[in-house]
Amino acid sequence: MAHNEDDDYEYRIKEGDHIVLKRGDVYKAVQIQRKKKVIFEKQWILLDNVVGHLYGTTFEIASGGTLQPKEDKETGSSTDVKVAGTDNRNIVDDGKSQKLTRDDIETMKEQGLKNEEIIQQLIDNSSTFNNKTGYAQDKYIKKKKKKYENTVTVLKPTCRIIAMMYHGREPGKICHLRYDTLAQMLTLGNIHAGSKVLVFETCAGLVLGAIMERMGGYGSVIQMYPGGGPVRAGVECFGFPAHFHDMLHEFPICRVNALLASTLDTSAKDPTAEEKSLNAAAEQEQIQPEAEQQEGRMETNTGDDDGQDREKLEREKRQEAKAQERKVKLEEKRRKLAAAAALLEGRNADGLVIASQFHPCSVLLGLIKFLSPSRPFVVFSQFKETLIECYTKLKEQGGTVNLMLTDTWLRHYQVLPDRTHPLLLMSGGGGYLLSGTTVATDHSEPAAEEPAPKRQKVKDSEG
Amino acid sequence: MSFIEYSDLIQDGDVAIVHLGHNSVTAVKVQHGAQTQTRFGVIRHSTDLISQRYGSKVTCSKGGWVHVLHPTPELWTVALPHRTQILYTTDIAMVTMMLELKPGSVVCESGTGSGSLSHAILRTIAPTGHLHTVEFHQQRAEKVVEEFKEHRVDHLVTVRNQDVCKDGFGVTGVADAVFLDIPSPWEAVGHAKAAMKKHGGRLCSFSPCIEQVQRTCQALTERGFEEVRTLEVLLRVHNVRPVTLQLPDFGPDSGSPSSSSQAVEEAPPAAAANPASLKIKTTTLPREMPGHTGYLTFATKPRT
């Protein structure tokens, strides 16, 4: 186990890293910052101590929320039990089987007893424990372990973990997109390095992050966004290296019609210029009252003129710098928009992924125009009805094949000797997918030339 | 064409996917002078395919037409010649995500079988990853090598013709992920661990029977694997179609004026069809669907 530092460098936790905390099946994504407290599973913890340790290390939460790497992993055999009953015919629920009171347990906790020791105390003071069957004893210990567990494992974020985390913690933020459904989307969309992918999502950036991970920094992703700017909180959780962001482009969905209607020059530059002047005007309005206020304050200040002048000068400088900054930002924004527009203009994108709370129909019909022929697209919706409409519209307008409306069922299993069965609870629904492949639309030939069986199907769906 | 890179035009030597309608596809090796028979007539490669754009409509000799599609691992999965039972896209998607595959991943797989999963792995780990795949059936191993070459992904894959349970994967300490689809995966768990990086990685085993899962989980726990989870994923395909539902005739209604106004509202659909009926757009599920493919058992190999 003697490895040198360099060998492990990339597996070590560093300050500023985006990490995922794990306990049992609960995950939480955080960024490591010095002296910053985070709350995880009803406990405040300080992450300072994890820096320098390897990813995958399990830590024990000590007093004050500091973390200590767990010494060795006990395999649960510390609580050895030999005596066990065969059935529960003589076990009566009188509520008195546990001799320890809640106060006793609290004192034990305050004394800083290890969880294993607390659990052993609970077992020793349970009058019925030895009458329980071996399986029931296992279950009892497992349950108590879960309750008194105070360890946390630090993981490197991956699409699997973040998708599971979002689904567990904040399903509403990701339109109830279950992780197996996200997996289907990435595969059906043939997401891979080197392609040019269009994304429209309102899933906090989870779908975008998943796509970026699969592309590994090769190719380009164009995020179409509604409103003022793209939401990318989920992307941050992935902790991608800086160069991944070079592949990421953004384009406001409100400019799609303009882009489709006109050439790159007019669509990319004119609206930006317009926006620039608009923004500048708005900003000036904002500055004005502020400046007036400051002047008002200064009039009351009858101190030395020198100071006033200096202040004034400094203020002007600051304003100038701010204006300059704004200019640079605007220029940057314009440049980005032009770059995204240039990527879209060829209408030769390699894939389209839609997952949003918007009605997918208009989004799909608008954005599918940017795809090359023979490229896959995937649309996610929490509701099947919206996808039925998409399906019908696509069938009417043509230009796609292999249309499929699907959903997946996900069932987890408990696998233990003589106790294997599906888990009692399963997710009710992870949303629906409409997938298909684009084909060249043939304007010269009227639809009447389609072969008989197909034409009938179209008629059916229209009727 | 390549399975890992899109191109616009069909070229000599490409593998193209011919879409015949109704989700029926077939793979065609494009060659100058060659012909392919379909139920819509013959496709002449030199004129109908070569230099045409992927996704274009090709009119066949009988006047029917087909679409020619760019190959993807998903289309290949439904078009490939079966030499074994294969993994389908639904399971493949889950395996890919839960094994945390991405560009640059080094993956071990056994058995190679018909190469359905292999193509999906190669697509995901390109351009910098590598797949070490082990197939003990010599003829199958040779066939799949040939296919990888044809599909221009052979630089990313090494096929070994050996018994994974006896001889392992032929590599040690290099894999980020291992996938097992063999009858006795518990016999390969040790080799899987040896093949993986010392820093850890992910493992998946696909088994149709629960007894196999049971033994595999036990072997995984004994070998120090963590986070052992077994799951199953099932695809439901919804057929979109209009459905007509009849409305019963309650007889003449001589009730209050409000009910008569209701009758007026309902008049248009009733007038459309003689016996009153309502047409709705909905989906139906197939009468029968695949109810089980295999259990997927995932585990994490911790740092050793």
Contact between chains at A183 and B210 (C-beta distance less than 8 A):
no
Confidence label for A288 from pLDDT (cuts 50, 70 and 90): very low
Range B208-222 average pLDDT? 97
Interface membership of A417 toward B (CB under 8 Å): yes
A273-287, B177-191, B246-260: range with lowest mean pLDDT? A273-287
ipTM of the modeled complex? 0.93
Average pLDDT of chain A, as a whole number: 83
- CB atoms B21 and A11 under 8 Å: no
Chosen for mutation from B238, B282, B296 (greatest number of chain A CBs closer than 10 Å) is B238
Chain B residue whose CA is closest to A415: B214
Contact between chains at B53 and A373 (C-beta distance less than 8 A): yes
B 222-251 → A contacts, CB under 8 A? 228-242
Chain B: give the shortest CA distance to residue A404, in Å. Answer: 7
In angstroms, the CA B141 to CA A433 distance is 35
Q: Which helix (H) or strand (E) holds B142?
A: helix B138-150
Q: Which residues of chain B from 58 to 117 reach within 8 Å of chain A, CB to CB? A: 64-65, 67-70, 72-75, 89-90, 92-94, 96-98, 100, 102-104
- pLDDT tens, residue by residue, B280-299: 999 999 988 888 999 999 99
Interchain CB distance below 8 Å, B233 and A409: yes
Residue B42 has pLDDT above 70, yes or no: yes
pLDDT at A446: 44
Decide: A35 and A54 in contact? Cβ < 8 Å.
no
Which of A22-31, B197-206, B274-283 is least confident? B274-283
Stretch 19-48 of chain A: residues touching chain B, C-beta under 8 Å = none
Poorest-pLDDT segment among A106-110, B40-44, B57-61, B209-213: A106-110
138-197 in chain B: CB under 8 A from chain A: none
A418-432, B207-221, B230-244 — which is least confidently predicted?
A: A418-432
Residue B220 has pLDDT above 60, yes or no: yes
Taking residues A376-393, report their average pLDDT: 97
Q: Of A156, A187, A191, which to mutate for an interface test with B (greatest number of B Cβ within 10 Å)?
A: A187
Give tens-digit pLDDT for A252-262: 999 898 898 86
Confidence band (pLDDT; 50, 70, 90) for A81?
low
Q: Give the pLDDT score at A281.
A: 45
Identify all chain A residues contacting B102, using CB atoms and an 8 Å cutoff: 159, 213-214, 216
The pLDDT of residue A311: 83
Q: What angle do CA A434, A438, A443 make, to 5 degrees?
A: 130
**Contact A190/B at CB under 8 A:** yes
- Cβ neighbors of A5 (< 8 A, separation 6 or more) are none
Q: How distant is the Cα of B19 from the closest Cα of chain A, in angstroms?
A: 8
Q: What is the CA radius of gyration of chain B?
A: 26
pLDDT over 90 (residue A356): yes
Confidence of residue A445 (pLDDT cuts 50, 70, 90): very low
Cα–Cα dist A414/B229, whole Å: 8
